[in-house]
Amino acid sequence: MLTLGEGTLGALAQVAQMEAMQAADPAAFGPMTGWTTLIAYGSVAFGVLVSLVWPVFLIVWFTRRRVRERTSTWT
């Protein structure tokens, strides 16, 4: 839940930032008018996906017998 909340806030912040940059210099963003929002939401979606998958990957990785044997010597 926290990841989704952070992702939502991140998306809103990125969209607001890109809109402010576009308003400050419209000529610089002329060709990318529709892409700025897509880029912002895409990067946040990727971040949320990684945040959700990473803990699952770690659990699976550290339950492997070979990894447990190797990490048992880490003291």
Per-residue pLDDT of 13-38, as tens digits, reads: 887 887 787 788 777 766 666 777 78
User: Which tokens in the block code for residue 8?
Assistant: 């939502």
Q: Report pLDDT digits (tens) over 38-60.
A: 877 788 788 888 888 988 999 99
Q: Write the CA distances from 19 to 36, 48, 55, integer angstroms.
A: 8, 22, 33
Please tell me the distance from the alpha carbon of residue 25 to that of residue 29, in angstroms, as a whole number. 7
Distance in angstroms (rounded) separating the CA atoms of residues 56 and 54 = 5
pTM of the predicted model over 0.95:
no
